[in-house]
Amino acid sequence: MNSTNGERKPVAIEVHGLRKDYAGVNVLDGINLSVKPGEIFVIMGPSGSGKSVLLRQIAGLEIPTAGSVTIDGMDPSLEETRDKVALALVFQSGALFNSMTVVDNLALYPREHRLHPERAIREKVMEALRMLSLEKAVEKFPSELSGGMKKRVAIARALVMQPQILLYDEPTSELDPIMGATIAEIIASLRKAIAVTSVVVSHDRDLAMTIADRVAIIMHGRIKAEGTPDDLRRNNDPEIVDFLNPTINLENPRFRKMEASNE
Amino acid sequence: MTTFMRFFEHVGSIVLLATRAFSHVPTVGRQTGRVVEQCYLIGYTTLPIVAILSFFIGGVLALQAGISLQDFGARQLIGTLVGESMARELGPVMTAILLAGRVGSAITAELASMKVYQEVDALVTMNIRPERILVLPRIVAIILMMPVLTIIADVIGWLGGAVVCQYVTIIGVDWELYFQSLKDFLTVQDVLNGMIKAEVFGIGVVLVACNVGLRTRGGPREIGLSVTQAVVQSLILILVLDYFITRALV
């Protein structure tokens, strides 16, 4: 039976010794972390550090090369786990179904799992759209939406699933600062509105430091630092300091150092 | 990975896809809307091109056979030749080839872009099996539509042959003689054998198209490559299957 019929509680995520290789290239190298039920856990890191790969492992979309990911003690890649734990992923691109209207995108999950009668589904969909101020987008197709609206529709679609775990992949990328702040507010407010464990992958420092209970910074496939936002602000590691407070140095540009380290 | 291994991996993935799709057969009743939509796309929109092609295939067959059979004094058998060729071979094979080019390519393009743009991943995270809502309705639609398209192809092909016989003076066989000869030798079994072939080809085309589409990785370039790959594989599959089914049915 699908868990959406029962009472929902946020669940814990455990990652132990996770390693992921693609065609012999190591992307994640021995990741260990645990996310507590109901927590907002932000994973930060520079581009290409393996953040999104880690999120796909947590979502069960890929199988680890070594190590394990468990959700409430179960393997997220198994269909049985998805039957028991409602997990939603807000993709960076939104991954909305282009052939469906916004309302059908949101209604797909409850319709396919026959969670409610059609009228109740419609009400739940409208409630989610109202929460994210998307009432005017109901009959629009994803191609007719702006980037910010697509992200909000993707979040609304996740909400309709009444998830116990909500994963966000770069929720503020490609958005203007105001829309980025709006999305951050939505993520924080959802924790109050629904009992959910949230994992946010982002390189947006402001988002991470504002909404996170805890933050992990991944560099070169490993966790370089982990702790509360205040812990990270106090961290003296030069790489962490540079990542969290990058300065533009015209005299000694960073890309020259990157070139030198690649030679 | 060697070409040999890749071939077996590919065959294995098609078998796995078919097994997973057919395991959801009990949900077909709930997916009537999707099946009807696919029937429209596979059947109705393909019909005009099937009709045009079959008419001219029947016509060309009658023309070629008419000229050749004249040498043996067997012009009266043109109807039999066109009738049996269309029913047993050209009707199902040409319809399947058309479907591979028109429908198979569209299926691969759609599923490949869904895969590349993470819509398939979104389905998986929602615990909705892509095989159930993306593959099964297409298989059911092809099972329903393939016999219809094949019968229409056969009949229009026979008519094409009849028109050529009637109006091309060098052949000099009239309608009546043409249809009499067609009726005398063509059996229901011939038509049924053609439909069996068509069903197998159709299911093969859809499975190949879905499998290639759902295995696509990368970006827009890979979507294009997948479409080409699916069409080529489907054409090879149709011709290989044609030999073995014909061998089994004769």
Residues A183 and A78 in one domain: yes
Task: Write out pLDDT tens, residues A41-60.
Answer: 999 998 888 999 999 999 99
**Model-level pTM?**
0.87
Q: Which residues contact A55 (CB under 8 A, 6 or more apart)?
A: A43, A89, A167, A169, A199, A201
Compute the distance between CA of residue B163 and CA of residue B146 in angstroms, rounded to an integer.
Answer: 25
Interface contact B119-A87, CB threshold 8 A:
no
β-pair partners for A25: A22
Last residue of a domain, one of A161, A181, A203: A161
Q: Looking at the predicted structure, is the pLDDT value of residue A154 above 70? A: yes
Whether residue A11 lies inside any domain: the answer is yes
A246: domain CATH number? 3.40.50.300
All residues of chain B having their beta carbon less than 8 Å from the beta carbon of residue A56 are 121
Complex ipTM, two decimals?
0.85
Whether residue B22 lies inside any domain: the answer is no
Residues A81 and A121 in one domain: no
Last residue of a domain, one of A161, A188, A205: A161
Coil, strand or helix: which one is A195? coil
Whether residue A169 lies inside any domain: the answer is yes
The whole domain housing A211 covers 1-86+163-263
Instruction: Kindly report the average pLDDT of chain B as a whole number.
Output: 93
Name the minimum distance, in Å, from the CA of B96 to any CA of chain A. Answer: 27
**Residue B222 tokens, joined:** 């890979």
Residue to test with chain A: of B114, B127, B131, B134, most A Cβ within 10 A: B127
Interface contact B121-A109, CB threshold 8 A:
no
Whether residue A235 lies inside any domain: the answer is yes
β-pair partners for A169: A201
Binned at pLDDT 50, 70 and 90, residue A261 comes out as low
Residue the block writes with tokens 């997990």: A87
All residues of chain A having their beta carbon less than 8 Å from the beta carbon of residue B126 are 88, 108-109, 112, 161
Binned at pLDDT 50, 70 and 90, residue A1 comes out as very low
Whether residue B240 lies inside any domain: the answer is yes
Domain count, chain B: 1
Residue to test with chain B: of A75, A89, A114, most B Cβ within 10 A: A89
Whether residue B3 lies inside any domain: the answer is no
Chain A 154-193, residues with CB within 8 Å of chain B CB atoms = 161
Higher pLDDT, A32 or A186: A32
Whether residue B53 lies inside any domain: the answer is yes
CB-based contact A200:A208 (threshold 8 Å): yes
CB-based contact B216:B116 (threshold 8 Å): yes
Last residue of a domain, one of A161, A193, A208: A161
> Which pLDDT score is estimated for B216?
95
Compute the distance between CA of residue B65 and CA of residue B158 in angstroms, rounded to an integer.
Answer: 13
Which region, left, alpha or beta, applies to residue A25 given φ > 0 means left and ψ of -120 to 50 means alpha?
beta
Interface contact B125-A108, CB threshold 8 A:
no
The whole domain housing B75 covers 33-249
Q: Looking at the predicted structure, is the pLDDT value of residue B9 above 50? A: yes
Compute the distance between CA of residue B67 and CA of residue B64 in angstroms, rounded to an integer.
Answer: 5
Domain count, chain A: 2
> Which pLDDT score is estimated for A4?
42
CB-based contact B202:B146 (threshold 8 Å): yes
All residues of chain A having their beta carbon less than 8 Å from the beta carbon of residue B124 are 60-61
Whether residue B10 lies inside any domain: the answer is no
Q: What is the DSSP string of B64-99?
A: HHHHHHHHTT-GGGHHHHHHHHIIIIIHHHHHHHHH
Residues A186 and A256 in one domain: yes
Residues A54 and A171 in one domain: yes
What percent of chain A has a predicted confidence (pLDDT) above 70?
Answer: 95
Q: Nearest-CA residue of chain A relative to B120?
A: A95
Residues A46 and A123 in one domain: no
